[in-house]
Amino acid sequence: MTTQPPALAFEAKICKPRDLSARLARLARPLVFTNGVFDILHRGHVTYLAQARALGASLLVAVNSDASARKLGKGEDRPVNTLADRLAVLAALESVTLVTSFEHETPLELILAAKPDVLVKGGDWKPDAIVGAKEVKGWGGTVRSIPLVAGRSTTSLITRIRGKS
């Protein structure tokens, strides 16, 4: 018989989408929102998330479900890590206040529910092209694109691991 390990404190930061509105009410504002797959966490991710958190008092990270991530065309074998594992790793980061997931191709539904003060994506996104930008600006929020850390991506990391670089 196997036993489950005791819950770890950081796991309290993982929020089911259906519980999001109750959890949001307890977060300090300004609220920063970002999203992504966050498959194999690397320096680019943690730098980006720390910079995003610095833009507000709380950082909500929405993570693509496994099915949603596969629709992004990153490869048949992606994501490498399951949603549960990706949520847990992100929740363990000091910069992340709350982490949730989404099934759709975009996180617009979560953005509308969270009404963040700041919407953030990586530097490969122009602010006006970020999903939810129009809506966030509409309620007086701001939209930011944070520069990427050069040479740091999950795709390049997987390529190196497979010895194809």
Reported as a single tens digit per residue, the pLDDT across 125-155 is 898 999 999 999 999 999 999 987 666 666 6
- Domain spans of the chain, in order of start: 10-161
CATH class of 10-161: alpha beta
pLDDT at 112: 97
pLDDT at 125: 84
With tokens 């600006």, the residue in question is 137
The predicted model gives 31-54 an average pLDDT of 94
This prediction has a pTM of 0.89
More confident of the two residues 102 and 150: 102
pLDDT at 2: 67
- When pLDDT is cut at 50, 70 and 90, the band that residue 72 belongs to is confident
Concatenated DSSP letters for the chain?
A: ---PPPPPGGGGGB--GGGHHHHHTTS-SSEEEEEE---S--HHHHHHHHHHHTTSSEEEEEEE-HHHHHTTTS-TT--SS-HHHHHHHHHTSTT-SEEEEE-SSS-HHHHHHH--SEEEEETTS-GGGSTTHHHHHHTT-EEEEEPPPTT--HHHHHHHHTT--
More confident of the two residues 163 and 66: 66
pLDDT at 58 > cutoff 80: yes
Q: Which of 14-23, 123-132, 156-165 is predicted most confidently?
A: 14-23
The predicted model gives 54-62 an average pLDDT of 98
pLDDT at 124 > cutoff 70: yes
Q: Which of 5-19, 25-39, 68-82, 117-131 is predicted most confidently?
A: 25-39
